[in-house]
Structure 1
């Protein structure tokens, strides 16, 4: 450790207050306070996160960000990102300060280049003596750092080792609404509960007039644990740093931003507030982390319903379909039928299949309308076809 003091190289007495300034490279998206120039050309900058932790009657944490151009020797900038204050009991505070005092009383210090230091610690003892230490992140102090994070309830603190703990996910809930600008609109939902090790999928289609459910409960703890590890390792930081996304951004490029549907993701955490994401379910706008999330689940879940939560790979169907409302004499009622013929008109007598046995019935065409696949009056794939014109007219 680099000793910024000449009187002594070890802490003496009892710690009254403690201030810790930890610095590490910034990860994730940049906050709003950072200039657009830095965001666009971030590879040209050293961008660091600075955490100023003050342990007194309460624990106060000031999060800041500093950027400095790599090529141009400027002084850098510092902007405050957020300030959080944690209440702490007197016994917990004294316990933390005693641990820190004991650790720095026992330290064996060695000279370090001050430019390579990540941590600055200022201790004040009960005799108003200041002790200042500067050093690089130290893995030997990991146990102390983890304990302080747990007591304070702030898993993202860098502290002495720089190994910030990612807050634990409790639940991931996904809802996909397809065709939301149409009269029907399919609604699919997926809930992944990490505590009960279960994933439930519910797909409802107003167009096809049915609902299918799939409940997958895993008793194999190793399987669900591996899925959690995959998500944490590959996209854990991205999910934690996720900001709310609205349709306004995609609306600048597409007059119909919800053409593929709307996807909503809600992530429940152990400590921080719920994360909400709202986006567009099209390949053009859907983020890579969302595709990865569904991809990880598909490795462990043999369920084709997961495809309902991804953008459709099918090309847009712009074909025009002809629908006829046919009055069935036998039942005194109208039913929809399709036809590919261009010689069927209103008032024509026709033969149509009817019922589960497809018995041939006679009817009269009451109307002829034309539709795309998105606004058909009845399910495109369940609508039967007119057999032929009924030139003989079977009176049944």
Structure 2
């Protein structure tokens, strides 16, 4: 193998190692790196490097500004070797610093420049393109646990598309498949996309890889079966390549595609369907053959963007049946848009399936394939965010579903005639006497928390309304001129009194 090819292989292998989020720091500071550098003839001359490159020998931002000017591969190799030697000589607990973002970035910038300097024509794409595979790695500083972290997109010359997305569990350090789609696009469109990529990568282009924004890796395969690999950062693509990402999203009808620039738009949820089944054995009821009686119970709730409806249904084998349907236009749309399509029900739960007490949740998207979550209907078996989802749903249903017909706050409210004053009894402390205040709020009710003026200085205190009366001026419990007004009504009291 020629010397330039050896340098290129070194840069390619160690660049992948420094990009690996799961790598152990021992693998980066062991003697394999030393042996490679020694074999390639790299020399450590720290004093000379400091004089020539200044802060760039240890600061990744300074290196990024000057790395394009470093074209001597031996000098660049020595710079990399010297920086590595610093971490290798540290104690174990300090050597782990090599995994920090700023230190990984330094090595990735330097190794990528070495990779670019040593690439030769055999490393560039040639021939007639047949297919592509694009890996978009979204792991970065702003990554949230158990959200979509990697996308793999395959496209061939016939328009066949395979797309797979993965979530990443930080604690377990494992990828789990989140969704998979197989479909087909127009053949001419597919060939146009492939031709653009092949034509671009027939020439050498500088790509700087950093770790805080994620990165991409592209494999192009020609009709002879030869595969060529290229990589870069999700933010390092220029305007031309960003337009390719937009083209891919439009052609594939996938706004959620990270592509080359990471500028994906989240998919939207179209339908959420919650199914719950329970079988209860009733021992004190015997069937004709003296076996226990089983009560089969089923609940189903669906939220549908297209029909703008929320439907709740329950039935049991004893003939009981309840059904509620809400048609709420923008409210249903707003509810679905407020939910994170990737994170919803993405963590927790178990695969154990109790046939007598189980659930099946189905989330349908505008573009992606539906996602199904199922298990036993218990605290450990349900997704971690299910209680929060239920609380939001309960508030939504209560807000829209309870009118005045069954609400005592409406039918129990005294009538107000023209000329009446609203007198409210307000208790300031538990078990303390009530004091009369006036209010202009026609909706004020018993149980509301109000702010009232107290004492000669009218300092403000909170109190609870215990009684509301509509009375004529002459029948008031206290002279109007001497009765203070409620300052504000903060709604129903929710704390403990």
TM-score (norm: length of structure 1)? 0.49
Q: Which one scores higher on RCO, CA 8 angstroms, separation ≥ 6?
A: 1
Higher percent of residues as strand: 1
Q: Structure 2-normalised TM-score?
A: 0.40
